Amino acid sequence: MADETTATSAPGGHSSGGDRPSGGDRPSGGDRPDRGERRPPRPGGPGGPGGREGGRKYFRRKKVCKFCVEKIEAINYKDVRLLAQFVAESGKIVPRRLTGVCTPHQRRLSCAIKQARNIALLPFAGRAS
């Protein structure tokens, strides 16, 4: 027990000083090395991403940009099926923090969606038929 307390004090100093993004450590300070059951499992984060703000601001699971992975270069306003994946039921464009698209692709995507809306391939509001 004595060595536990001495062991916790030292790493406690490290973790707060370091810039590791492992969340949940700071508030309860120092229970990191031994008590694994208190820390939420970081990689994978089941049901983690997307607006869970109960104080556990751990790193969201790595979402990859679909366009970067599949190397889709041309985002055309004509392929409605591709665009409709990034449009909500209400017809709104889904923000990139939910879809994981990277910024340049999101910009091109939203431009294409707006063009498709103008030519009546996608609705402005309401369900995409």
Enumerate binding residues for other proteins (CB under 8 A).
73-74, 77-78, 115, 117-124, 126, 128-129
**C-alpha angle with apex 82: 76 to 87, nearest 5 degrees?**
105
Considering the complex, what minimum distance in angstroms separates the CB of residue 74 from other proteins?
6
Q: How far is the CB of 98 from other proteins (least distance, A)?
A: 22
Distance CA 22, CA 26 (A): 9
Least gap, CB of 95 to other proteins (angstroms): 21
The residue among 30 and 113 lying less far from other proteins, judged by its C-beta, is 113
Is 68 in a helix, a strand, or coil? helix
Rounded CA separation 42/100 (Å): 18
Closer of 59 and 77 to other proteins (Cβ) = 77
Smallest distance, other proteins to C-beta of residue 14, A:
43
Cβ atoms < 10 Å from Cβ of 16: 12
Amino acid found at 76: N
Q: Which is nearer to other proteins, 30 or 101 (CB)?
A: 101
